[in-house]
Structure 1
């Protein structure tokens, strides 16, 4: 049957548009083809296309796609010519009678052109073996169905063979990791736990189910979902607490933080505990109990006087906590700095500064600062202070690599510091507005200038701290001296005028004590003449009665909604009282005189300071007592107390109070007993610090304690021949070296301290560094320092017994310069100070 042609006014020249395309089953064409049919005229009936006979068994050959103006081509006027036209009228091979538009081959489009073959993602295995064109139809392709062969696919739907190989490789890796973890369980768990796992394997349990049961099941001690709940760090070289520290009189081993971080070696006061008590310890911790097994020597926690959530601080590292502050989540630092527009990152920098360093070196009241930053008010917040705080936050933020490279222009901390110093120089030169008695706003402008001076003083002290991080405390001290000049301009250390508002009064008094405490610490440890002889006239309020004065800091640990105070107010008041004593010692030692040499304290003077310091320790509030301290800044408070006491008593270790002093209440301990006790307590606290918190997070004063303990340990090793104590001393030395190395990742001055301490070690101790601390001693000692260190920090000389030695001759810079260029095997790697 021939395809019908619609009637036309010119039958002899049938146009392409009048060609009727047959549709299956005699139906009218639909879609785009329907538009090719001419509209029926009045009184006419549209002719339906005739039915096309089914093709014969032999497949029709591909229709000719005509060459231009050749046989079988489509003419330029659109008419069908040549063989195509003859075939459409029934001439020629009946098999080819059908028009190209009516071919049954699905690879042809309605336009007469070959349609692209649909891409097959992956062929079946049978087609791949016989190299056939597989259409990928699932579950059985057309060719396998036609040939009657089995059809299997190695890939998932819409997955290529390469993707399937990657997926299978990942499954194998996961399976291998599962087996390795089970092997580790069998190898490391106690016998009864390993037997339980082995029995499950023998019963044919799935490996993944066994591992899941180990991690989350209650057969193996009900391991917690939050692993850091019972997490503690392990000492290098020797995992237990040294025996010389574990004696009944050590009050710090009776503390909550030690009992919550048990060691393998039992304490004298608690040699063994029944399993029921250990189980109750885990039950007391609730859902946040950690990975300790029932067989661990875990002493029972005594009844805690506070609320249950407070135990969390004793069971988790401090760096797992987060600051809780409504203002911290809404501030936009980008409005205060041109260095970055990433508010999320800068909020993290602010957070890390407040978490790690604000509680120890406090330079401003946190709540006033954050509230004014959020509201865009320049009262107690300024661009200088924001950029300075963000710079310190860069040192604290462990997500920033190479943060200790202060000289690197690509370093974000470098950029914040450059911007802060630029703004500081501009603001510091701003003069006080002239007095205008006739202008009612004159006094207000003067008060605003004084407020900006307060913030500038806080910024200057922070800039001094940053330069100390970078090994340039000589330069940084100039900022403190400029801050002193600005403080005198506004009479900061005198009693506040009554006409000043409460907020400004609070910030003034707080800043005055901040400056006094800062200069007390710096002058004492650098052997400089104190800038202030007396504390500010305005006394500090009671932190319990006026907590808002100190801006309490709250933290929250994972898996709990309870917020815990860091006791920032109590800590600030305790530091101020302790540092006032240190300032008095410095005034006597290096006060104004005609000589640049430090003066020796008399026994009566030492006794007076000793009695003041022991009274300070007895009067500490309960959260800061030796029994309760846990957070890093609380532990450092006691470390600082004992290192001050060690330096105070060392010159009179061989004296006796009774033979040299009259008319004064004598301590129960002799100077030697008090000195040795402080040595033991100091090392104990530092070890507890590491057990609970580790040394990886920035701590701006920790390097001083680590360097001091390292120096004391080196002296003990050189004078001790007892082999039982020697191994414990080597463990302490490695622990201090590891801590200084960890701190050197955050600030540059620790690299110089590390070089000095490693150079003091014996060759046999240096060999242990490679095994337990991953330190190459030759690189540390003889490798180049990227930038020189210009520091007056005394190289951990705790007491000047020889008054003929000037403190500056023992500075870190001079000690580093005196290092010998001889290799590590030489008899002496450190030259004597010049």
Structure 2
């Protein structure tokens, strides 16, 4: 064959070959769904979903890095600092610095531990800091021997048994549902420790914790026997919940780690049923108990004071970081301040020294990634949304660019098991990406034109406003895309964590603000249909999603004459909750949802209608309060 003809017949090759070509070490053209070679030989062609190590950085990520470098170089130049001249000094100090950092890490958190550990009669550790006056009254003859009570089985308080009236099949069903759908996202309970302690009457099982797990597992079940009212899905788990509340009062007299876990689950159950105030209270109790037991200090720092089992050390880290993450997601959900700050703790990230299954490794990676992005959430809240923001108006544009880069870096560093560019069998990975885009919306919102018009920062440059608006819109659309991927993989959001509710609401708010006038584009309608559908699917497990979805549906109908499918079901579920009857019993008139007489006079518009503050100057308020407000007062405007 002539050289020219031979050169012409040569095809294009890809950097990522299919599995068959990789196995045979043959050249692959990368065509999909089947490469040319597999198609020629009638072979099944499949591509690995594993991440390509040679994957280049995205253009947006590179641009953010360049902008950050240029900003830092300009910052140094204005202060007469030559970055090149500093290199030699940095190299000389690098070795000393790394040694000092390693040395400091060994003592991290230990300065606060001197004579600060006490033990109750049940062997549970209590922590008191060096400023506590009670440390001055430690007995002079106290022996410095290392305590070893942390792994001793405590004497049970009262009965450790529970009424065996629950059918074993139902109990196992609800426990499995909990550990499959709730625990990977809200990892306050270690599945292996709980199941082992349940079988062997270990210290990590209590009837209180069991009933709390059964109550939360019921929220993911369609079985009517989990409900106190067969026609009301919001009563699912109510019986187990009442049992847990009875036991909680007694166990609070001598709390343990399992008490913190149960408090966290009880708080989640309250939120699931729409009782946000009670949920907030019980999570606050869990946070306080975690400080009481020293969970905000890494247990490795206790090694000279107490002998602690490795399993308990890992559990303490897991509980602390779960409460920390929930605090940030709750701050976003309720619009309240963070109550657990990163600076108040010194705890290593959860780890798994022993080999684990791919699912266990994915769940561990999930918690680590969630912790990282929740730390960024905290920076956003303190810098932009706090009652006294830590940044002034001049500092905010630089923070926007810096934080966008941090978020992009977080996304770029996600391990393959948490990516969703290919179908992912871990449903919570999709929720994690929704949280990422919600963080971008919360970061960008104070800089958007709509927000700036109502703030004192009216002279913000147009470039920042345009960038912020683009970030908000892109992330809102991305949340809708993620929701569609989730549905394709899992069918429905019925078993999704409640966090998806606020993420979807955030996307819907941005999408509605982007509508120009009263004309809604087909693409905008399609995305809003996705948001309404997601909220309706979440409503089966989470009461706040039901009310938020109903409010959104009514707004679309009144303002844009947009009637979405499924409204009859939503109205039926709404009537089952008895909200209208409750409002009428309080002396308020309920106006028909179709009555829009007062709508033009309602200048606050969209945000308040959806349960958000009128001027969007703060994050969403307590949905439980707005549930009542919507029924009692806001219905008047319709």
The interval holding the TM-score normalised by the smaller chain is: 0.5 to 0.7
Does the 8 A contact of 1:403 with 1:747 survive in 2?
A: no
* Residue 214 of structure 1: aligned partner: none
The structural deviation recorded for 1:643 is 1.3
Report which of the two structures shows the higher radius of gyration computed on alpha carbons.
Answer: 1
* CA distance in 2: counterparts of 1:638 and 1:397, whole angstroms: 25
Which one of the candidate residues 538, 545, 563 is aligned to 2:347? 538
SS of match in other structure, 1:362: coil
* Residue 28 of structure 1: aligned partner: none
> Which has the bigger relative contact order, CA under 8 A and spacing at least 6?
2
SS of match in other structure, 1:580: helix
The 5 Å alignment of 1:332-481 reads 336-338=161-163, 340-377=165-202, 379-400=203-224, 403=227, 413-430=237-254, 453-481=256-284
The structural deviation recorded for 1:527 is 2.0
The 5 Å alignment of 1:104-115 reads none
Does the 8 A contact of 1:356 with 1:697 survive in 2?
A: no
Which one of the candidate residues 586, 589, 603 is aligned to 2:397? 603
* Residue 65 of structure 2: aligned partner: none
The 5 Å alignment of 1:655-666 reads none
The structural deviation recorded for 1:386 is 0.7
* CA distance in 1: counterparts of 2:184 and 2:536, whole angstroms: 23
* CA distance in 2: counterparts of 1:281 and 1:381, whole angstroms: 58
Which one of the candidate residues 509, 517, 521 is aligned to 2:317? 509
* CA distance in 2: counterparts of 1:765 and 1:401, whole angstroms: 41
Does the 8 A contact of 1:337 with 1:387 survive in 2?
A: no
* CA distance in 2: counterparts of 1:705 and 1:696, whole angstroms: 13
The structural deviation recorded for 1:532 is 1.9
Gaps of 5+ in 2: 1-15, 19-29, 52-158, 453-458, 584-606
Does the 8 A contact of 2:483 with 2:534 survive in 1?
A: no
State yes or no: 1:819 paired with 2:605.
no
The structural deviation recorded for 1:605 is 2.8
* Residue 773 of structure 1: aligned partner: 566
Which one of the candidate residues 280, 289, 293 is aligned to 1:486? 289
The structural deviation recorded for 1:780 is 6.8
* CA distance in 2: counterparts of 1:361 and 1:527, whole angstroms: 20
Q: 1:708 to 1:796 in 2, by over 3 A?
A: farther
Q: 1:786 to 1:565 in 2, by over 3 A?
A: farther
Does the 8 A contact of 1:339 with 1:415 survive in 2?
A: no
Gaps of 5+ in 1: 1-253, 257-269, 285-299, 307-333, 431-451, 555-563, 822-827, 830-834
Q: 1:475 to 1:540 in 2, by over 3 A?
A: same
The structural deviation recorded for 1:570 is 0.4
SS of match in other structure, 2:237: helix
The structural deviation recorded for 1:358 is 1.3
* CA distance in 2: counterparts of 1:571 and 1:805, whole angstroms: 25
State yes or no: 1:730 paired with 2:553.
no
The structural deviation recorded for 1:304 is 3.8
Q: 1:542 to 1:530 in 2, by over 3 A?
A: same
Give CA deviations for 1:227-263 in whole Å, capped at 9, x if unaligned.
xxxxxxxxxxxxxxxxxxxxxxxxxxx9x9xxxxxxx
Q: How many residue pairs get matched? A: 460
* Residue 522 of structure 1: aligned partner: 330
Does the 8 A contact of 2:187 with 2:319 survive in 1?
A: no
SS of match in other structure, 1:775: helix
* CA distance in 1: counterparts of 2:253 and 2:613, whole angstroms: 41
Give CA deviations for 1:502-544 in whole Å, capped at 9, x if unaligned.
222222222111221111211233222211222531211556x
The structural deviation recorded for 1:813 is 4.0
State yes or no: 1:712 paired with 2:527.
no
Q: 1:353 to 1:532 in 2, by over 3 A?
A: same
* CA distance in 1: counterparts of 2:322 and 2:33, whole angstroms: 47
* CA distance in 1: counterparts of 2:351 and 2:619, whole angstroms: 42
SS of match in other structure, 1:620: coil
* Residue 95 of structure 2: aligned partner: none
* Residue 579 of structure 2: aligned partner: 785
More helix by share: 2
The structural deviation recorded for 1:764 is 9.4
- RMSD value, Cα: 4.4
The structural deviation recorded for 1:675 is 3.4
Does the 8 A contact of 1:758 with 1:766 survive in 2?
A: no
Q: Which moved more, 1:637-646 or 1:478-487?
A: 478-487
Q: Normalised by the size of structure 1, how large is the TM-score?
A: 0.48
Q: Normalised by the size of structure 2, how large is the TM-score?
A: 0.62
* CA distance in 2: counterparts of 1:409 and 1:303, whole angstroms: 41
* CA distance in 1: counterparts of 2:233 and 2:490, whole angstroms: 32
* CA distance in 2: counterparts of 1:345 and 1:808, whole angstroms: 34
